[in-house]
Each structure stands twice: as structure tokens, then as C-alpha cells.
Amino acid sequence: MIEFACPECRTGMTAGAAHAGLPSFCPACQSPVQIPGSAPRRPAPFHTSPHPATSGGRQGSGAVALTYGILSLFVPLFAPAALSWSNRALREDPTDGAAKAGNALGIIGTVLLVMAASAFFIWALWALSAATSPAPPPPPRMPATQPY
């Protein structure tokens, strides 16, 4: 159903979608009108929601970011996903609390990830040096003459 207004008297009219673009007459003032090709009040740029119902999608991004953020505290490998999702959600809605929380958790997760990677690196270096360094001398043997 297409909703539009008479250009002369602003009377609201509706027409079936099948009549889009066809000429008609205003029932109130009888002036000729053209049924618009698509419903008015529906500018649908790619980056904005066509109608408010899809604002749930934004909250979805924030919720996903928060979920990844919480996960990244346990599994730091999720931190990049948390940052990515929260940045995306914050671009769409900078006031999204869940996205902010997800972003903060993502940063914490990234720090944990870096720390874990550093710890592994240091451990690997230590293990490598321990493997290549000569073994410590064995403790002196007890004298064979020790009585039983």
C-alpha cells in the first residue's frame, strides 16, 4: 500500500502498490495527482535503518561485542572479534552501552592475549636455552664405604 498526499490540498491518500506511478485524481479537490512510485517517508540509504524496528540490529552488534568481550576474558583469542564488533556497533550508535562494555572488555582481552603471547614467548626462550645449556653436574655420590 502506498501512502501519499495531494500536492494541492495535502489530503492523505492511499493506493495499491500495483498503481505506483499511475496518474489519478484527488478525491477531495479533484486535482490530478500522480501516485508515487514508492512509499514516501522512506528514504532508505544503505547505512541507516529503513524503519525503527531494525534498530534491534544495532543493539545486536553491541550485544555480540559484549558477548565476545566476556568470552575474551576467558579465551583471549576472542578479543579481536570483540574489538571489531564493538567498533562497528559504536560507529552505528556511539551511545551503545553494550558496545562500550564490549570494547573495554576487548581491550582487556587484547592485553591478556599479548601477555599470554609474551609469557609463551619467554617460556619458549627459557625452554630452548634450558635444552641447549649443559645439564648441571650430578650431585656428588655417596661414598661407597657408607655402612648399610
Q: Give the footprint of Zn ion on this chain (CB under 5 A).
A: 6, 8-9, 11, 26, 28-29
Closest CB to Zn ion among residues 30, 118: 30
Least distance (Å) from Zn ion to the CB of residue 10?
A: 7
Least distance (Å) from Zn ion to the CB of residue 5?
A: 8
Look up cell 531494525; give the residue.
Answer: 54
Closest CB to Zn ion among residues 32, 56: 32
Asked if residues 105 and 85 have their Cβ atoms less than 8 Å apart, the reply is: no
Nearest-angstrom CA–CA distance, 133 and 51: 69
Closest CB to Zn ion among residues 9, 128: 9
- Helices and strands counted in the chain (H then E): 3, 4
Q: What is the DSSP letter of 37?
A: S
Least distance (Å) from Zn ion to the CB of residue 24?
A: 11
